[in-house]
Each structure stands twice: as structure tokens, then as C-alpha cells.
Chain A
Amino acid sequence: MTAFARKNADKPPMLVYENVRKRYGTFVALDGVSLHVNAGEVVCLIGPSGSGKSTLLRCTNALETIDGGEIRFEGRPLPKKDADIRAIRQRMGMVFQSFELFPHKTALENVAIGLTTVKKLPV
């Protein structure tokens, strides 16, 4: 546990998964996942390919909708409206499996795009 996590151990968890379910057609990707993640805590999800690790992260970022259960971020369920989801996403960081760098932008622009476009900070 990190020092930051120890400091926040008595606070409510930052991220809560309650019985989260997700299926693609007949394939069940997540079958009742429950997990609490505290601020500053480092959690590793380990499992074979296709076990739902990426799906869980994509659901956390609302890139996928869940079929059942609930995901709560800072005590509140993930919102349904686009604008509200954007506000949550702006407070999360997500690194994709294939990185998804933007090939039409320079390295600096890739690093800064979140700040310049989303946070509207001057270049």
C-alpha cells in the first residue's frame, strides 16, 4: 500500500464495482464483478486473454455500457448523459492496450491535447 493510500484508507473508496455484468451476445465478459479501489491504491488485474480485464476498464471509462450491477466513482454512479460522463473522464486517466497515439500530431501535441482541448489551457 502506498503512503497516499494509507492516508486515505479510512475514507470511502474512490471506485466501487458492485456485481458488474457485461455480455457481448451470448459471451459473458463480466459476470458479477465486485471490487473496491481506494484513492492511491494500486490494483493489478491479472487473468488470461478474454477474461474481461480490458472490458472492466472500458466500462469504468463508460466506453462500454454495463448490462447489470453498478459502477460508482467518488460515491456516485457513472452518469448516463454525455456531458456528465465527460466530466468524469476528465478526472480519469486511461492508457489503451495499443496506446492509441494520434499519428497526425507531434509528440508534444499528443501529450498536451488533453490540456489544450479539454482543459482549454493556452498552448
Chain B
Amino acid sequence: MNLDWSIVWQSRGPLFEGALVTILLTALTMTISVPGGIVLALMRGSRFKPIAWFATGFVELFRNLPLLLLVYWAFYVMPVLTGIGLPPFATGLAALCLNVSAYNSETFRSGINSIRKGQSEAGLALGMSRSEVLRQIVLPQAWRRVLPILASTWVSLFKDTSLVSVIAVGELAHTAMQIRSQSFRVLEMLTAMAGIYWLLGYPQAKIVDWIHRKYGVRE
């Protein structure tokens, strides 16, 4: 077998840029999906039923669709239905945000529900409003409980961003695939892509482990 690893070194510039796009996609998706998840979780707990039903419908729809299908749907169907055509990066970001917001919503909902009722009642008994109880008592405690899960979601998301390569977003997987098809160095590029994903993903997984140890709630 004739292997030529020099193609990987020669492509370091595009691969580096692709890795940056992957990190950017991950960071932007989480930046949008964390507040999105909190809002959806609060909407699901709303006493005004139509709001709760809307949030439940949103979560159940986007949580149960395959992410790959969602990416295709956002790219091909959404522009037809809405008349809004977004560039591939924004389309991929939107699809990821819809999916991750739905997951984050469930994460936050479980975190909020895990805070025992007495904590809210103690806040109310002091004369706090419901929103003050939520902001000062419930959410800070829930945040600490869900942080390790959010960190795990981050690591999963980092890898899942490769799915937006199907709509030509220039992230790491797409870039590596492009170089592969141009150079015909399939084995080298796929191995390099795996190596880069692992090198970037492993430290994140270790950070998640650390977050679990430091912030995980033991009862």
C-alpha cells in the first residue's frame, strides 16, 4: 500500500480553518441553545397551557427528528416554506440550534424539577415574587446540577457538527472530504480527520470529567 502522509501537512491551512469553523459552530450553537433551552423549559412549566403545549410540541418535534434529516430539511424545505434562503453556515447553525435547544430544554427542565419544592416555598415565604424565586433560588441551583450534562452535550455537539458537511458548510469534515476527493488520498485524509477530531475532542471530554467531579451534586 502506497501511503503519502504529506497531503495532510500540505493541507494544514484548510484543515485548521475547518477546525476553527467546527469550534465556532459548536460555540455559537451552545450560546444560542442554552438560553433557548432555559426559555423552552420555563415555557413548558407555564401555567398558561397554550404556551406549555407549544413548548412541548417544539421539544418533541425537534428532539425526535434525526439531526441529519433536520439539516437537509432546513437547507431544502425551509426556504420553500418560509421564502427565506440562508447561507449554508446559517442554515446548519439553525438546524443544530433547533435540535440542541430541544435537548437542553429537557436538561434544564429536569434540573429545575430536581430542586425540591421546599426551596421555592422558603423563597415565597420570605415574600419573594415567583420570578425572584426562580432567578435567585431555583435557577442557580438547577444550573449547577445541569452543568455536567451541558458539558456532555457540548462534546456530542462538537462531533455532530460534522453532519452539516452535507450542505457544504466548510467545517472540518467537509474540508477533509473535499481534500480527499481532490487528492484521492482517502485513507490518509480520513485518518487525519479522525486524528484531529480526537485531538480536539479528548481534552473536552477530560474537561467534562473534571466538571462532573467538581460540580456534580452528591446527595
**A residues bordering B, Cβ < 8 Å?**
58, 61, 63, 82-83, 86-87, 89-90, 92, 94, 96, 98, 100, 102-104, 113-114, 117-118
From B53-61, B132-140, B195-203, B206-214, the one touching the partner chain is: B132-140
**Given that A104-B141, A117-B132 are contacting pairs, would A90 and B127 also be in contact in the complex, using a CB cutoff of 8 Å?**
yes
Which of A63, A92, A94, A117 has its CB near the most chain B CB atoms (within 10 A)? A117
Chain A residues whose C-beta falls within 8 Å of the C-beta of B128 in the assembled complex: 86, 117-118
Interface contact A104-B127, CB-CB below 8 Å: no
Contact status B127-A63, CB under 8 Å: no
Interface 1/0s, chain B 107-135, versus A by CB < 8 A? 00000000000110110111111101000
Residues of B within 8 A of A90 (CB): 126-127
Give 8 nearest A-B pairs by CB, closest first.
A90-B127, A100-B122, A89-B127, A118-B127, A94-B125, A114-B126, A100-B118, A104-B140
B144 close to A (CB within 8 Å): yes
Nearest-CB distance from A78 to chain B (Å)? 13
Question: Are B121 and A89 in contact, CB atoms less than 8 angstroms apart?
Answer: no
Looking at B122, B132, B137, B141, the one whose CB has the most chain A CB atoms below 10 A away is: B122
Q: Which residues of chain A are near B130, meaning CB under 8 Å? A: 82
